[in-house]
Structure 1
Amino acid sequence: MIFITGGVRSGKSAFAEKYAKQLFLTYGKKRLIYIASGVAIDEEMAERITRHQQDRLNSSVKWETIEIEDELIFKDDLFEESPVVLWDCLTTWLNNVLYKTESFNEEIRENEINRFIQTLKNQLFKWKEEKDCFLLLVSNELMDEPPSKFSEVNRYRSLLGELHQWMVANCDEAYEMDYSLSKRWK
């Protein structure tokens, strides 16, 4: 399990895709899977999704794409043939979870958010421990920004920070991107 983080436009997706292709080719894997969590909620996001799709279409290798907005529902054969899996990105996935639960009362919402996060942790741990695959996880680094005047933004950052700490503790490698340069922390 490999964690890759960085700020917006830091080069983390390009790094992750290049690394995933390298693992795919080096280890002779038969499947290269891209888990996408982006939802085209506005024109900018639609353009970003299209750009990422074009990058994969123009790639020298064939990517299989699975779209996961929030619920972690995977086919049983996802990890057949020990694939390389790239999930881009967990920041967007968490945002989707918060958006999905925003109309719930506070107690129910907290329970649902915790359920989503625990399901994610369980799934990632299961993949890491039980499957012969490479799993690359991409997420945005938001902790360098000053605190927001909005409590929901601060809650999001807190959840993401806790999730990042868990991921780094459980990953085999961890990278931070800045200006398309990678720093390996683990």
Structure 2
Amino acid sequence: MIYLITGGERSGKSSYAENLAKELAENPMYVATARKWDDDFQKRIDRHQKDRDDRWTNIEKEKHLSEIYFSGKVAVIDCVTLWLTNFFVDNKNDVELCLEQAKSEFDGIANQKDTTIIIITNEIGMGVHADTHIGRKFTELQGWMNQYLAKKADTVVLMISGIPATIKGN
């Protein structure tokens, strides 16, 4: 089962995903895709880790999510935007290569047996038009990956001001 939780920044995506995971499993897995860019980002990561109690298994994995064994587990993957950023930086902003690699990694997760994946993404294309060429390229990458994930997902939930609106599935 694949859930895609999407929405704008601070729309309640992570809280919704974490609560769903706790409803579905006693000991869910949390996969953080953030790269530790600087001290401020490390503080953000530390704060998020403290928010989760000891029921959670925490895994930090910047790119190669298919290396994680998900079978028989409920997992939250937070988040696609930070995950794609890692590909984007490492591949020198090559959108096609990033998209190919990210799709392959996701397929490696989706093809594992008996998994429940709750993946969080941002709808960055709903905001202000990016100022820079690089920003516009990343918005394209994010939008295309979101479309791919939504097509593969059993359920897609759009978070709006903390309110979940199911746009695909039950």
Distance in structure 1 (CA, Å) of the matches to 2:56 and 2:19: 12
Counterpart residue number, 2:70: 79
Q: After TM superposition, give the deviation of residue 181 of structure 1 in Å.
A: 1.1
1:154 aligns with 2:136: yes
1:124 aligns with 2:125: no
Cα 1:110–1:171 shift into 2, 3 Å: closer
Aligned pairs for 1:1-20 within 5 A: 1-20=2-21
Aligned residues, how many?
167
Q: Which one of the candidate residues 108, 116, 139 is aligned to 1:134?
A: 116
Q: After TM superposition, give the deviation of residue 141 of structure 1 in Å.
A: 1.3
Structure 2 length as normaliser, TM-score?
0.88
Counterpart residue number, 2:46: 50
Q: Which one of the candidate residues 23, 26, 32 is aligned to 2:28?
A: 32
Counterpart residue number, 1:28: none
Structure 1 segments (4+ residues) deviating >3 Å: 109-112
* 1:24–1:84 CA contact under 8 A, matched in 2: yes
Counterpart residue number, 1:100: 90
Distance in structure 2 (CA, Å) of the matches to 1:168 and 1:68: 22
Structure 1: state its 5+ residue gaps.
26-30
Structure 1 length as normaliser, TM-score?
0.81
1:66 aligns with 2:67: no
1:87-133 deviation line (CA, Å, top 9, x unaligned): 0001100011111122xxx8xx4564244123223213313xxx112
* 1:71–1:116 CA contact under 8 A, matched in 2: no
* 1:72–1:119 CA contact under 8 A, matched in 2: no
SS at 1:69 equivalent: coil
Distance in structure 1 (CA, Å) of the matches to 2:102 and 2:70: 21
Structure 2: state its 5+ residue gaps.
none
Distance in structure 1 (CA, Å) of the matches to 2:44 and 2:35: 10
SS at 1:95 equivalent: helix
SS at 1:62 equivalent: coil
Distance in structure 1 (CA, Å) of the matches to 2:98 and 2:145: 12
CA-based RMSD: 1.9
Q: Quote the sequence identity (%).
A: 28
